[in-house]
Structure 1
Amino acid sequence: MDALLSAGLVLCLIFLFLGMGVWIFVGLLMVSGTALALVAGMDIGRIGTIAANIVYRYSTTWELAAIPMFIWMGEIIFRTDISDRIFRGLTPFVNWLPGRLLHTNVLGCTMFAAVSGSSAATAATVGKITTTELSKRGYDQSLSLGSLAGAGSFGLLIPPSIVMIVYGILAEVSISRLFAAGVLPGIMIAVLFSSYIAVRALIRPTVAPKSDMAFELRLFGRAIVDLLPIISLMVIVLGAIYSGVATPSEAAAVGVFGAVVITIFLRQFSIAMLIETLLGAVVSSAMICSILIAAAFLSTAMGYLHIPTEIATAIGSLHLSPVMLIVVLTLFYLVLGLFLDGVSIIVMSLPITLPLAMQAGIDPVWFGIFLIVTVELGQITPPVGFNLFILQSLTGQSVGRVAIYALPFFVLMLIAIALLVVFPDIALWLPSSLYD
């Protein structure tokens, strides 16, 4: 009971400090320090020592180096015309499918996510091209924006994923295994999205206007040339990781070098662009890493207060089956996704939910993929759905309307979670094949 009261106090402190509008990492530090002082009775000196040890440990974690590198690579790609090339390159291949160019949202986001690591960057980069082009050509707006909102979240799941790195560090799980585990679920969700688009187009052909594009081999040759830069970067980064030649952090550095070479080859490189991308990467990385360190302090504070073990024991006494536990956690994360971004959800909840999963015998790699898919759902649910805000800024549509357009893809991701529960090897087969 003491632990439950402590958990209630920590929850109230979180609402108090974050509700004051302070930065998330400052709020988490204030929650942790206050809880240790009030509940555990620690003095300021000991609290400071604990915080200093955590800052040093995480600041010297080699895996953390992957975050700024992958962000920098995404920033470089974001400032090139690769998104235009993806759209042009995919057009001849999808123009023969039911739904035609609507599939460029799904496939374009899938490809860009493989070099971005960010959901927001994926939705913004692909969306700035496809929203204009599809609207100009008369494609159904609800299906166009809905598919983009859903597929834009692939940046969280398809490696290299920043959120996946955060989970791997906090859960002490191999990031390479997590990257491998995200491949097949990402492809599965992309197939679900494209299948839905095709079915909708077959039922109501007017959602995708007829095309007069002739079948010419030269168009496919030109398309392959357009896709070559993004494919090359995917092969360099992911190939280095899965072959064992490089760790994720080393592969991220190679990816930055590859992105620079590509911009030089495309004649889009400049020193001003390099500095601009570096500054953007520094800002984003500082934000994520500071939240990560503050969350580690919160996790340590909760450990001193015995909150995770006591709550895990309390829920364990209910004797929930692993499936029922996943159902409860899915609802829990759906609620969190209404108010928090992906990194915040993971760092604030993991100290409680991971012990529950481990106690239920759930594989931590599988749990990471499940968690990231539920976080993806939060990207398209109001009031704090970042992909909805991005599409609002691109199109002028209200957040509520874009959320309605995204609802079918929200349901498809729930179906994907169910498939992961029934067939866990969708996430576990590839990492087992590569690393066992």
Structure 2
Amino acid sequence: MQKQFQHQLQHQLPFLKDKKLLLAISGGIDSMVLLHLFHELKFDITVAHCNFSLRDAESDEDEAFVKSTCEALKIPYFIQKFDTKQLALDYKLSIQLAARKLRYDWFSELLVDKKLDFVLTAHHLDDEIETFLINLTRGTGLEGLTGIPVKNEQIIRPLLKFSREAIEAFAKENKIKWREDSSNASNKYLRNKLRLDVVPILKELNPSFMHSFQNTLDNLKQAQSLVDDASRIVYRKVVQEEENQKKINISELKQLQNYEAYLFQWLKPLGFSAWEDVYGLVNAQSGKQVFSQNYSILKDRDFLIVSEKNTSDHKKKYNVNKEELEVKNPLNISISKVDDISNLSNTTIFVDEEKLIFPLVIRKWQQGDFFYPSGMTGKKKVSKYFKDQKFSLIDKQNQWLLCSNDEIIWIINHRADNRFIANNKTKNIIKLQTK
């Protein structure tokens, strides 16, 4: 196994050489083999051990074991004790999810604070099988069946090619000591139930199951690579990226034989999961929306508009004082006194200072708002202006207004109000320009 491991490091993970590595060591057989391999190969390693306080004295004994091993091998180490049950209650998480959050949050802090390069974990081939089966039972796309990635940003998993059986044989051959986790013998958790009850049957049915599974994973990963390539190519043809939103051309999308698969690829990373509702938007009436935790999709005539939810801004107001020369929130607007009017545009307007009541206010549109559009006679409801200009619901939600004493001066970057615009007779002209 050691030769195979060295070969993998040289060909698949060559960037680890001369890096400062943080090894996640629980004290179990997998992590102790990981520690032994990197120590023998003389890498620059530091150990991190999490005591989740879930098994009373046994957890403390694991901690003491890791500590004594590191001291004997002269390896620097960090140990952190967590109140996992309390965090699970506070955040309404399962114990497993709470432990995962605590573990990886702490690892990230250590990487920054101690100037380390990567976190290494001892996940192996049997873990991949269990993850595959968990995702399969819960329902997943192709990506959920491709296993655990060897590299995920700063997290590296060097043992994924090795089975638990191979790791155990190596540990015994090299007289490596480890701690047994008594919770692994319980089938209370789904992962343990698969490990104890399901995987042994698969191995019994096919003595070459581990090898066959590894081949299957490799094939699935290649298929996922093809899907990713196709997704990127089609994305460039069908999706227009604009400021703060993406517009999916429905006509172009419907020409694709399997457009639902493309929507899945593009939208899954944004947290969408109600796929029947998402797919239904393609043929829905304008105005219908589907939401994830942080994003929304709006059906707007010929487009599906994907944007980040921004509801917190709706009631916010930003004051602009008389002495200010520049506004930075929520938009970047320069304010200057000028002698004449030139280069008038949607993004540059000129107003009469004597007609303004400070502080000016930047806010969102509200029901009942009206203004007197420049170049027109009479007033107009802002909602009617939005409709005439074919604003989508998201455009309306994102639009800012500049107001004086709650009267609209400017639908910013679109239309000024006749009541405030300067002319050649204006004595004090103020130029407003968005950047």
Is the structural similarity TM-score above 0.5?
no
TM-score by structure 2 length? 0.21
The structure number with the bigger radius of gyration is 2
Q: Which has the higher helix share?
A: 1
Q: Which has the higher strand share?
A: 2
